[in-house]
Amino acid sequence: MDFDKLIEKFCEMLKTSKFVVALTGAGVSVPSGIPDFRSPNGLYAKYGQDIFEIDEFYKNPDRFYNFAKEGLIPMLSAQPNVVHHMLAKLEKAGMLKGVITQNIDGLHQKAGSKNVAEIHGSVRIWNCLKCTKRYEILDDGQREFLLSTNFRCSCGGLVKPNITFFGEMLPMGEFAKAQKWAESSDLFITLGTSLVVYPAAQLPIYALRNRAKLVIVNKGETPLDRYATFKFDIDLTEFSNKILETLNTFLN
Ligand code: CNA
């Protein structure tokens, strides 16, 4: 089947499904200028595979903080792209229940999505590991203070972003919400995720167990491709523009 026909069929599915959920990964934010993990230009290639390992953070926090200045803080000035906007429009039109995101950049909310489960936390909030003081990194004064102390709290403790490192538990409330959405869905769409990070990659499996249809949009293979009703191995920008064009009358 050619691309246009597949898109039409997918849009039909969107219109007739009752509980549609999207799971997004780092690929969704690549068109906003934020690199993903595993692509050739991704964060792993530049900073090493262990940059998000919790043991490595405790062993060498300044290595992580040097990365944070270059790789995490700039995420906060990034702008949502057409993929985020397309998902926000689907939600507004009642065609999408919510977005489960592995991303920590807050771009879905910036685009207007209301129902967002941030299962790997958010880079907006940082906490002192000694006295638990909370820092809002979007606040100019608090950000400048943390940059000036190299992320040491006023009490001297290390300050860590509220994101899930490898080796840490996921935020329970957010994951429970995501699991409930996945188990209630009749159409589950994954966008820009390699589906290799667990337990996030378990979510499409919960949906499949509920007999939901699975649609995968990702450049490159994922381990769940063979379970997908449709797999779109294309650029997410092209995909999203096509969805907006096809559903034009429903979304405005
Ligand atoms: P990943 O494993 O790096 O996979 C991303 C996937 O997106 C890859 O398969 C790419 O081929 C694909 N991709 C990249 N650009 C495009 C594009 N334009 N069109 C279509 N496909 C594209 O990342 P996952 O999200 O699967 O891994 C989960 C990690 C990455 C989570 O823990 C995230 O917190 C973490 N992460 C988040 C961000 C962010 O918040 N923006 C950035 C980097 C990493």
Which tens digits make up the pLDDT trace of 124-165? 999 999 999 999 999 999 999 999 999 999 999 999 999 999
E-strand stretches of the chain: 20-24, 98-101, 116-118, 121-128, 134-136, 159-163, 187-191, 213-217, 230-232
Residue with CA closest to ligand 1 atom 13 = 27
Q: Which residues are catalytic?
A: 120
Any residues with CB less than 8 A from the CB of 227 and at least 6 apart, and which?
A: 204, 208, 214
Contact 102, 116 (CB under 8 A): no
Residue 37: other Cβ atoms inside 10 A:
19
Residue 24, ligand 1, Cβ within 6 A: no
Predicted model pTM? 0.95
Percent of the chain at pLDDT > 90 equals 88
Q: Which of 165, 57, 78 is nearest to 121 (CA)?
A: 165
Residue 39, ligand 1, Cβ within 6 A: yes
Residue 27, ligand 1, Cβ within 6 A: yes
Q: Which of 35, 29, 11, 38 is nearest to 221 (CA)?
A: 38
Residue with CA closest to ligand 1 atom 2 = 194
- pLDDT digit string, tens, across residues 1-13: 788 999 999 999 9
- Comparing 34-43, 149-158, 207-216, the range with the smallest average pLDDT is 34-43
